[in-house]
Structure 1
Amino acid sequence: MGNRTGSIWLLCVVWITAFIAVALITLNCERESDSIQGIAETREIVISSESAVEIRRINVVEGQSVSKEQLLVELVCPEQILRINHIAHQLEQLRAQKGVNKDEIRSKIKQLKAEKASLTSEVNNRIRQIENQYNLNKELASGLRSIREVGKTGRSGVSNPVTLKIKSLRQELALSLRPMNIQIELLQKSLDESASPIKIQVEQLEKELALLKAENSKLNIYAQISGIIGSVNFKPGEKVSPFAPILTLHTKNPSFVKGYIHENVYTRMSLGKEVTIISQTDSKSSVAGTVVGVGARIVEYPVRLRKNPVLQTWGREVLVKIPGNNRFILGEKVVITSSEPRVSFISYLKQQQSTFFSYLKRLLEPGETYARNRPQKDSELPEKADTSMYEILPVTPLKTSGIEASALVWLEDIDRWLMLSDDTPNKTPLLFLMDHQGRITKETLIKGLKEISDMESATVSNDGTLYIASSLSTSKKGNLGKSRRLLISVKRKGNDFSLIRNADLYELLGENAVRNNNEEWAQFILKAMGERSLDMEGMFHRDGALYLGFKSPFHRGHSVILRIDRIEEMLGKKKLDDDQVSLWKKIILKTDKASNQEHISDMFHHNGTLYVTGTSSQKIGGSLWKLDENTGKMIHIARFDGLRPEGIAAGKDKDTLMISFDQGGNNPSKIAAVRGAL
């Protein structure tokens, strides 16, 4: 009996041990996706031509290192050369034709002028002969007494026949010259206008010729980046069809790793996750990376990563960005490992706060496991300020309805607050001037600006230029019109505001982010634009740069502040250079006791300190914070329960901050002062 009982206990121990072993193996298999295989790859540029060309000279070979702006390929386009020669010949013909036509008209004008001069001279000679004969007869007749007596007794008023003849000749001359003058005038007008049609044709052909020569000069291809020539697909003298790859250029070192997760295992890989990349041939060669893409579809594994090349394998792609100074070889096989430590079975059970049997139940009925967010470090959490040193003055409702206060700016010369409203009638650029009692004393428009909507931030530069920006966010209906994407600069003189420049800030940021997609700030912008979650509500100006604070989305658990250098240059050119945008700060607006993290709703910079207002997504209130640039830490100054701070500025009271609150709906906006904050 004792032996039988011992055998039963031994059998139970074996079964329990086997059961635990199976559970541990299952757990280990479940977490298998912490390490996956991948291939180190790089950015490759395919060089081609938009038109049919002929290879004149190739200045590089495969595997050659090249520097940026180095001449790679010289091309020639026979069609362009023929067209250039044809236009040049047309121009020569038109210029020659223009000269011949003018010469013929000038010759006719000269001929008519000569005939006119000859006729005038002939008539004048006849008149002079008649006058001379008349004078001679008059002298001869003056000595005859009988003629003098007749002359004395003759009737007065009788016209002299000589005078009448001279007058007749002059009238005849005028009639003869008139048609000649008309003909000369017409010919002269024709001469002046004869060049117009030909001149227009010449100008058009000259413009076309200049464009063709400019395009022809662009046929030479230069390296866009410093790197290595991958493949050369043509030889000198060969003809190339449009968009056919002539050669490829890639960076010297891999810039990313493409890994694959088997379709039968779950993964904790997520955007922003930190991982370690290790070479399969040299375990000492490793580098840290960040997951920038996780595939949303199942694709076929590359043959190199299959355990059995014959069998097809399927899974999801994972794209990991790695630093450029790595030691990997292009195309090298690597292992992508999660940077998070592996969790033991017992500690995992404790984390899940479940019993051993509930865990087994979860194994038998597995559900979808989601990626965990990167935990915040204690050092990143803001400090709590001693609120006893601050005095929050009574909250005053605005004495004007219909204003959803979104930003404040102090105008010292007129002793008024400039207030923005994120909702104005018909998107009009309407501004409000407010006194210290919360009374709106004047409403004014920005001259020269047709419309702008969702104005959420404003700031003033040292020279008095006022900058106003829309939120860059979609409306409640999901629309994102141009009026919600504007950044404008405004000139103020007293109570008058006039537009200086404006730009589509949303479009400029998007275009620049595409060109700089390896930068962290660009990834934030592109992801937010793709999700249509971008929302910018804070802004301040310092040293010619504009700083933008984004209400949403969070980037890896932080609120983001971007910096745009040379802001006036951007507004003037309506273009952002690649080096103008950078990530300035990542901040966390959350105390250690708070359950919700707040979002940036406005910013104000004063004497090296940044003041930030934050609001909660649960609409339970907001707070006032400050960032000390020396320590890089956020300090919680004040809490506003039931109020949503939307604007912040400092006025003539040197130690006081003014806060505006947008209560939404038909509720009036409010203002309050925090004394002792500055």
Structure 2
Amino acid sequence: MNKKRILKFAILFMVLILSFSVFFIVKSLKDKQSDEFVYSGTAEADTINITSETSGKIGDIKMKEGSKVKIGDLVAVISSTETEVNLQNSEISIKNAENELGKIKDGNRIEEIKAQQALVEQAQAAVKQGDANVNSSKNNLNAAKTNYDYKKKLYDDTVTLYNNGSESKYKVDAAKNDLDNVSTTLNNAKSTLDISQAQLNNYQAQLSASSEKLNLLVNGATERDKNTAQYNLDKAQNSYELSKIQLDKNNLVSAVDGTIQTINFKKGEYVTPGTAIATLIDTNNVWVKIYVPESMLPNIKLNKNVILKSDFIKNKTVKGKITYISPDAEFTPMNIVTKKDRMKIVYAVKIQILDNLDIVKPGMLFDVNLK
């Protein structure tokens, strides 16, 4: 009887062991299958340089590193005496044009003729200065173009070396960043030349108008003379608006909502057009880049919604959407995998984070479930 009982318990024990074994095997297989769809990556965000469009000393820095900013928030102020003087000169030109129009309507005196002669001389000096500014802007543009061509050649050579396997992706990215910076400087130099040329044209127009006005004062005003004086007033007002726009460029504002990552200069330092005063992180455009094997490609597609999790965000999931799948294979990045895995060929996949942007920070590690 005892033997039968012992045998019965032995059989029951074996059944339990077999059941548990089957359970854990099935669970292990399911976990393994589930893990095949989970890949890790670090949150990243676009960085935007807040650059100066004018030259001058930094008059004030309104933000600190880590400050939250909204679109249009004032970040820094460039103190430019030349721009301020140009605005004051434009205001004076308006008053002169108004006075001249009034004189034509009231009749001319010898004193008025002498005053107009002085204005002609002033306009001649302005044209001379404007011509010097144009030549200076042309020299700056030539220097910027030479620098751009040099950086472009460096970038092209680096890309060629990278394609041949003789250079790193980091070097390519650095060369591209340098090229982007000098491209901005080149564009700003072109813009400065356009402004200088426009100012010269304006000065020439003022000189022409002042000279014609002098002739009108000497010969006597007609109805056409009165109209010309009115046109000169309109031009002076347009010049004032142009100077005001130029002065407004000294106020550097944020183009997007985000966080100030770095303040690159201090109050009192001199900057030139294209200088990055501060660097902003666009916290509304955050993504995670992962690397998947070729076998995973049939399971993913663009605009597919996925779920992300992070140990930094407890008890909460983050929604994401696949916005980019690399068409080219590459070796697994060496900084996030074991030495054995470095020989694997993978494809880069970019997932844009759709929600919880207020708590997601660049640098956070996320697990992305592609299932």
TM-score normalised by the chain length of structure 2: 0.50
Q: Is the 1:41–1:330 Cα contact (8 Å) retained in structure 2?
A: yes
In the alignment, structure 1 residue 203 sits paired with structure 2 residue 206: no
Q: Is the alpha carbon distance of 1:97 and 1:61 closer, same or farther for their aligned partners in structure 2, counting shifts above 3 Å?
A: same
- Larger helix share, 1 or 2: 2
Deviations 1:477-534 (A, max 9, x none): xxxxxxxxxxxxxxxxxxxxxxxxxxxxxxxxxxxxxxxxxxxxxxxxxxxxxxxxxx
Q: Which residue of 2 aligns with 1:330?
A: 362
State the secondary structure of the residue aligned to 1:319: strand
CA gap 1:239/1:310 in 2 versus in 1, 3 angstroms: farther
Change (3 A) 1:207 1:298: farther
Q: Which residue of 1 aligns with 2:149?
A: none
CA contact (8 A) 2:331 2:342 kept: no
Q: Deviations over 1:64-88 (max 9, x none)?
A: 2345543322223444334334444
| 2:38 counterpart of 1:35 | yes
Residues 258 and 320, structure 1, Cα contact 8 Å, conserved in 2: yes
Higher-Rg member (1/2): 1
Letter in structure 2 aligned against 1:215: Q
Report the CA distance shift for 1:288/1:106 in structure 2 as closer, same or farther (over 3 A): closer
- 2:54 is aligned to 51
**Aligned twin of 1:103:** 109
Deviation, structure 1 residue 213: 0.6
Query: Is the 8 Å Cα contact of residues 38 and 368 (structure 2) preserved in structure 1?
Result: yes
- CA deviations on 1:119-140 (whole Å, 9 max, x unpaired) are xxxxxxxxxxxxxxxxxxxxxx
C-alpha contact 1:254 1:330 (8 A) present in aligned 2: no
Instruction: Report SS of the residue matched to 2:245.
Output: helix
Structure 1 residue 205, shift from structure 2 partner: 2.6
Change (3 A) 1:302 1:64: farther
Q: Distance in 1 between matches of 2:111 and 2:312?
A: 89
Relative contact order, CA 8 A, sep 6+: which one is greater?
2
Q: Which residue of 1 aligns with 2:64?
A: 61
Change (3 A) 1:50 1:300: farther
The structure-2 alpha-carbon separation of the partners of 1:55 and 1:312, relative to structure 1 and needing over 3 Å to count, comes to farther
Aligned pair count? Answer: 236
> Counterparts of 2:85 and 2:344 in 1: how far apart (Å)?
55
Secondary structure, aligned partner of 1:50: coil
**Quick one: structure 1 residues 272 and 82, their matched pair in 2 at CA, closer, same or farther if it must change by over 3 Å?**
same
Specify which of 58, 72, 76 is matched with residue 75 of structure 2.
72
CA contact (8 A) 2:288 2:351 kept: yes
Structure 1: segments with no counterpart, 5+ residues: 1-24, 108-185, 341-678
Alignment-mate amino acid for residue 308 of structure 2: I
Partner of residue 307, structure 1? 338
**1:190 is aligned to 2:196:** no
The answer to whether the 8 Å contact 1:253/1:325 transfers is no
What amino acid is aligned across from residue 322 of structure 1 in structure 2? I
Letter in 2 for 1:277: L
Which residue pairs with 1:163 in the alignment? none
Work out the CA distance in 2 between the residues paired with 1:310 and 1:103.
93
Which structure 2 residues correspond to residues 510-529 of structure 1 after superposition, within 5 A?
A: none
Q: Distance in 2 between matches of 1:217 and 1:59?
A: 16
Cα 1:229–1:197 shift into 2, 3 Å: same
Equivalent in the alignment of 1:278: 309
The percent identity for this pair of structures is 21
The aligned counterpart of 2:87 is 84
Higher share in strand: 1
Distance 1:314 1:87, change over 3 A: farther
- For residues 311-358 of structure 1, give each alpha carbon's deviation from its aligned partner in whole angstroms, at most 9, with x where no partner exists: 6986432222223325443211222112x3xxxxxxxxxxxxxxxxxx
* Distance in 1 separating the partners of 2:285 and 2:334: 20
Partner SS, residue 255 of structure 1: strand
Mapped to 1, the partners of 2:221 and 2:38 lie a distance apart of 87
Matched with 2:292 is 261
Runs of 5+ unmatched residues, structure 2: 1-28, 114-215
RMSD: 4.4
- CA 1:241 to 1:307, structure 2 compared with 1: closer, same or farther past 3 Å? farther
**Relative to 1, partners in 2 of residues 1:199 and 1:33: Cα closer, same or farther, differing over 3 Å?**
farther
- Alignment CA distance shift 1:51-1:218 (3 Å): closer
One of 218, 243, 262 as aligned partner of 1:212? 243
| 1:111-159 CA-partner distances (Å, limit 9, x unpaired) | xxxxxxxxxxxxxxxxxxxxxxxxxxxxxxxxxxxxxxxxxxxxxxxxx
